[in-house]
Structure 1
Amino acid sequence: MKATRIIIALGLAFGLSACGTSDLASRNVSMNTTDLAAANVEGAKRLYLAAQYDVREIRIEVPRDLKVSEANMFYPSADIVWRGEPRGDRYQQVHSIFTDAFGMATAKMKDGPPVMIVATVTRFHGVTEKTRYTVGGVFNMKFDLSVINAETGEVIEATRPVEVNAAAAGGSAAIAEEQAGRTQRVVVIEALRQGVRQEVSRKYEESATSRGAIDPTTLAAIR
């Protein structure tokens, strides 16, 4: 389908991911992309994420040959299963989710070479009504990711598959989340945003002995 191209605006919000009752492999690293951020790591070390690109553009593709299912069963056989919004164009809804999440994840990434990030969705599996209001499950999202120099067209990071998962509440917990405003769309965008940050950031560890060497004004610890 025709790729949508957006210019990244400054801003940060919250907001990703697929279904089933199997494994959950959530990516829970978060970052203040103005400079650096930290996530707690075992022992005395912390893992830091630093912006390594000046993200100028994002291109999201949701191929129309992906199979959509509206079947209300525990685990439909399809590429796209999404019930977090009223029935409609599921391809467009998934595109909107990815666009929002990628925009939030990269809004303050302004350091490094100018790049365009390209993501092609290969799977977006949410939970059906039957799963949502009984056992719960997992939001599972897969996409192919590449990073391209926005000025020269040079491939900086070759296309690679990425998978992001998030827990999908079930039963009374799901109802409580909805009532509190934590909708399925909020959950999947938040998880996808975190996953994207982790994928396109520079990572390094800081030991307890070297911690004082980092300017605290450029470092935000995520508790």
Structure 2
Amino acid sequence: MNLIKTIAALTVAAGLSACASSGSSIETATRNATDTGQVVAAELNALSAGWSLADVRVRVPGDLKSSEANRYYPIADIVWREDPFGNRHEQVAKIIDDGITLGLSHLRGDRPVYFDITVSRFHSLTEKARYSVGGVHNIIYTLTVVDAATGLALHGPIKVEAALKAYGGDLAFAAERRGETQKVRIQSHLASLMRKSFNGGQELRVVAKADITPPDAYTGITR
């Protein structure tokens, strides 16, 4: 709970920045929408208006390859170094769970739903890249919204690609001094993507400041 409150507070801070050169997208399963982000966003907003979040259930398959190689770009599905050495699959699952839970906490409808997440890629920075050139936090997962009472899928599966500029060198050190660790930035980015994509019938203009994506991030919804 303290971690989630910290993330929410840091998202408000003017110093928090997200992706400058990379983006995020949600590929919807809706077939009859016209090819505009506004229409797709409106449909997702309408769909989620009656939902309340029962739980976020994150699965990181055991066959995803994790690498500890200190190279600029290891060939692996999972690259994560900010937590102590341990079970990277479990660490990644918690990062995504906390971020998405934060981003969907505004859903207060009458129909409890699960957000089921299956991760296929979580590629952050190695030490070598973190302390020099930086790069991109690249996260890919499949999302399905499930009725908590019946188990029926209400939306999805949809493919989510969340990419966030990863700081390197002096930028990384400065961010850490402000409390903007890699984990905080990734979770804030995931929360912002979910909040804007599943707005639950709310108008974005009345959403709290903590819900606003920082100016150097791009959050898009595409077919």
**TM-score of the superposed pair, with normalisation by structure 1:** 0.71
SS at structure 2 position matched to 1:96: helix
Distance change in 2, residues 1:203/1:171 (3 Å) = farther
The question of whether the paired residues in 1 share the 8 Å contact of 2:107 and 2:200 is answered with no
Q: Which of 16, 21, 24 is the aligned partner of 2:22?
A: 24
Is the counterpart of residue 102 in structure 1 residue 100 in structure 2?
A: yes
Residue matched to 1:14? 7
In angstroms, what is the RMSD of aligned CA positions?
2.9
| C-alpha distance in 1 between matches for 2:68 and 2:121 | 15
SS at structure 2 position matched to 1:87: coil
| C-alpha distance in 2 between matches for 1:114 and 1:221 | 23
Q: CA deviation at 1:166?
A: 1.1
Q: CA deviation at 1:14?
A: 1.8
Q: Which of 80, 83, 98 is the aligned partner of 1:82?
A: 80
How many pairs align? 178
| C-alpha distance in 2 between matches for 1:198 and 1:112 | 20
The question of whether the paired residues in 2 share the 8 Å contact of 1:13 and 1:104 is answered with no
Q: CA deviation at 1:123?
A: 0.3
Please give the per-residue CA displacement for 1:157-196, whole angstroms capped at 9, x wherever unaligned.
0211101111111111111111222111111111111122
Q: Which of 187, 207, 210 is the aligned partner of 1:220?
A: 207
Q: Which of 42, 60, 63 is the aligned partner of 1:62?
A: 60
Q: Which one has a larger percent helix, Structure 1 or Structure 2?
A: 2
The question of whether the paired residues in 2 share the 8 Å contact of 1:26 and 1:191 is answered with no
Q: Which amino acid aligns with 2:103?
A: A
**Structural mapping, 1:65-214, within 5 Å:** 65-201=63-199
Unmatched runs of 5 consecutive residues or more in structure 2: 9-19, 26-41, 213-223
**TM-score of the superposed pair, with normalisation by structure 2:** 0.71
| C-alpha distance in 1 between matches for 2:125 and 2:108 | 36
Q: Which one has a larger percent strand, Structure 1 or Structure 2?
A: 1
Distance change in 2, residues 1:54/1:205 (3 Å) = closer
Distance change in 2, residues 1:105/1:221 (3 Å) = closer
